[in-house]
Amino acid sequence: MIPGIHMLAGFSLGFRHRRQLGRLLRETPENQSILALAPASLQRVGIRALALDFDGVLAHHGAPCPIPETIEWLKTCQETFGGDKIFILSNKPTEGRRQWFAEHFPDFRFISGVRKKPYPDGLQKTGELAGVPLSVILMVDDRLLTGCLAALMAGARPCYIRNPYVSFHHRPCAELFFMTLRTCERLLLLHMN
Ligand SMILES: [Mg+2]
C-alpha cells in the first residue's frame, strides 16, 4: 500500500461521516484525556471491550511504552473489563511496543497486519477476537479522521481524546506534524457541517 494512503482515505471517507464526526467533536470537552474516562462508568453504559490507540492516547508520539499515569489507568481497565477485552489498535504497532505489552499486560492483544485506520479492519478483527458485537467496543483515539472514523465505519463507538499527550522535547517534528493534522481535521469538520 502507498505510504500515507490511509490519511488521504481519512479525508475522503470522513466527508461521508462529517456530521457524526462534527457532533463528536462538539460534544467532547477540550480537556478530554484518557484519564478522564472512568472504566466503571464505561462499563455502566454498556462498553465491554476497548480498542486503544497508542500515540497521543497512552503516551506522546513515538514513545516506546505508556506513561506511568496511563499504566495505572490500564491496570484499572484490566480489573474492570478483563485483559482479554483490551486491544491496542495503533497505526504504528512496533515490535518494541508489542514486547512491552506482552511483558506487562500479557492478556492484552496487539492488533497488527490489518489495513490502517480509518479502515475498519482492525476493529473488525478486535470484535472477532473479543467475541463481542462491535457496538459494545469503544475505540479511544486522538484522531477524528483515523480512529474515530474507523469506529463509525465499523459500527463501534468512538471516544475522541481531544487533549492528547505531546512531547516537543522528544519528537518536535512528529508532534508538529500531528498537531497540524489534528487542527486541520477539527477546522474541516467544524466548517463542513
Ligand atoms: Mg494517536
Q: In this predicted model, what pLDDT tens digit does every residue of 25-50 receive, in sequence order?
A: 999 999 999 999 999 999 999 999 99
Cell of 80: 474492570
Contacts of 18 (CB under 8 A, 6+ apart): 189, 192, 193
Residue 164 CA to ligand 1 centre (angstroms): 8
Residues 6+ apart with CB under 8 A from 10: 117, 118, 143, 145, 146, 149, 185
| Cα-to-centroid distance, 82 and ligand 1 (Å) | 23
Distance 140 CA to ligand 1 centre (A): 9
Tell me: pLDDT of 93 over 60.
Answer: yes
Angle at 129 between CA 123 and CA 132, to 5 degrees: 75
pLDDT of residue 57: 97
Could you tell me the CA-to-CA distances from 107 to 41, 75, 102 in Å, in that order?
22, 11, 8
Give 131-139's long-range contacts (Cβ < 8 A, gap of 24+).
Answer: 132/48, 132/49, 132/85, 136/46, 136/47, 136/48, 136/49, 137/47, 137/48, 137/49, 137/50, 137/51, 138/42, 138/47, 138/49, 138/50, 138/51, 139/51, 139/53, 139/89
Q: How confident is the model at residue 127, as a pLDDT?
A: 98
What per-residue confidence (pLDDT) applies to 169?
87
Q: Quote the pLDDT of residue 193.
A: 67
Q: Confidence band (pLDDT; 50, 70, 90) for 132? A: very high
CA of 119 to the centre of ligand 1 (A): 15
How much distance in Å is there from the Cα of 143 to the middle of ligand 1?
6
Expressed in angstroms and rounded, the spacing between residue 65 Cα and the centre of ligand 1 is 13
- Measure 4 CA to ligand 1 centroid, in angstroms: 15
CA distance 53 to 182: 15
Grade residue 99 by pLDDT with cuts at 50, 70 and 90.
Answer: very high
Residues 22, 193 contacting (CB under 8 angstroms) = yes
- Is the pLDDT reported for residue 5 higher than 90? no
pLDDT band at 188, cuts 50/70/90?
confident
Q: Residue 160 Cα, ligand 1 centroid: separation in angstroms?
A: 10
Q: In the prediction, which pLDDT does 9 show?
A: 77
Calpha distance 136→139 (Å, rounded): 10
CATH numbers and ranges of domains, the chain = 5-192 (3.40.50.1000)
Ligand 1 geometric centre to CA of 53 (Å)? 6
Sheet with 86-88, strands from edge to edge, namely 109-110, 86-88, 49-52, 137-141, 157-160
Of the candidate ranges 14-23, 35-44, 54-63, 68-77, the one whose mean pLDDT is the lowest:
14-23
Region class of 60: left (phi > 0), else alpha (psi between -120 and 50), else beta = beta
Task: Give ion ligand 1 contacts, CB < 5 A.
Answer: 53, 55-56, 142
CA of 80 to the centre of ligand 1 (A): 23
